[in-house]
């Protein structure tokens, strides 16, 4: 099973700096900060040496944050350029001794054979793989036990409807996105898989995973008027987004869906 869908992997092999730059602007920062704040609520208590796996780690921001909390983190990515940025971030943070970097197809079962892990991060990966269900099954097998947590962040189909209508003013695209399985990636170009709540929950059930909590990430930030400075008001926007993401009626229309997931009781311990 190939992690990155055929014809799509090239976007991650080049222009890694463009992705790093995106993570520095408010939209990118919010995606990182909101997801990590949600994850922190469910991190295992530090009762000993804890291990984490970051599937498709990108520039390593989340992995470095976990390492700073004392986790030993394995970073997997198929892009050498991304991993170079992750290695540099770990060096700057002084956590290289808690970081293991692997240039691998992160969706392949052999890539995560070094588990088990207490925490697995899989943020914005399932959108680009051929078989998202297979990645979820691999993650299940790599989890230590039913106390382990899988942090899963995916592109929300409902969010693409609002983006097209409100941000782009494209009613035809909004109508199409109501039932679209794929959207368009703006940063790199190409297709990106879209997920519905029902479809994602079905995938989790098929992989013997149980949803602990579901949150929305970036509910309103993308649509704020220009008079509101995303930089000057960042902390205020972050706080409001945290509150909105917790409420199901708002989380359902967010740009991203964030699921904190555990193994089902039927899974082998």
Extents of the domains making up the chain:
10-156+196-263
Structure pTM?
0.92
For residue 268, what pLDDT is reported? 52
Q: Is 147 exposed, middle or buried (0-12, 13-18, 19+ CB in 10 A)?
A: exposed
Q: pLDDT tens digits, the chain, 269 residues: what are they?
A: 334 444 455 555 567 889 999 999 999 999 999 999 999 999 987 667 899 999 999 999 999 999 999 999 999 999 999 999 999 999 999 999 999 999 987 656 555 656 799 999 999 999 999 999 999 999 999 999 999 999 999 999 999 999 999 999 999 999 999 999 999 888 877 899 999 999 999 999 999 999 999 999 999 999 999 999 999 999 999 999 999 999 999 999 999 999 999 999 765 54
CATH topology of domain 10-156+196-263: Rossmann fold (3.40.50)
Please name the residue ranges forming H helices in the chain.
10-13, 16-22, 26-40, 61-68, 80-93, 132-142, 157-162, 171-177, 197-206, 234-246, 248-251
For residue 72, what pLDDT is reported? 95
For residue 1, what pLDDT is reported? 32
């Amino acid at each position: 099973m190939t992690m990155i869908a055929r014809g799509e992997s090239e976007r991650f092999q080049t222009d890694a700096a463009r992705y790093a730059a995106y993570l520095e602007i408010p939209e990118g920062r919010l995606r990182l900060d909101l997801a990590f704040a949600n994850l922190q609520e469910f991190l295992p208590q530090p009762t000993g040496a804890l291990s984490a796996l970051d599937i498709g780690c990108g520039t390593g921001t989340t992995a470095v944050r976990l390492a700073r909390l004392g986790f030993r983190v394995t970073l997997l990515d198929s892009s050498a350029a991304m991993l170079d940025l992750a290695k540099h971030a770990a060096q700057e943070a002084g956590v290289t001794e808690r970081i293991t970097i692997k240039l691998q197809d992160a969706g392949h079962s052999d890539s995560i054979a070094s588990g088990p892990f207490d925490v697995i991060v899989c943020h914005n990966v399932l959108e680009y793989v051929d078989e998202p269900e297979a990645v979820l099954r691999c993650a299940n097998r790599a989890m230590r036990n039913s106390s382990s947590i899988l942090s899963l962040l995916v592109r929300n189909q409902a969010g693409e409807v609002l983006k097209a209508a409100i941000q782009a003013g494209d009613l035809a695209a909004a109508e199409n996105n109501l039932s679209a399985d794929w959207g368009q990636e703006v940063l790199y170009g190409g297709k990106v898989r879209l997920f519905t709540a029902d479809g994602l929950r079905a995938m989790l059930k098929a992989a013997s995973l149980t949803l602990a909590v579901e949150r929305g990430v970036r509910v309103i930030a993308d649509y704020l008027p220009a008079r509101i400075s995303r930089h000057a008001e960042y902390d205020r926007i972050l706080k409001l987004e945290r509150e909105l993401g917790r409420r199901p009626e708002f989380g359902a229309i967010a740009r991203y869906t964030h699921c904190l997931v555990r193994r089902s009781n039927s899974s082998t311990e």
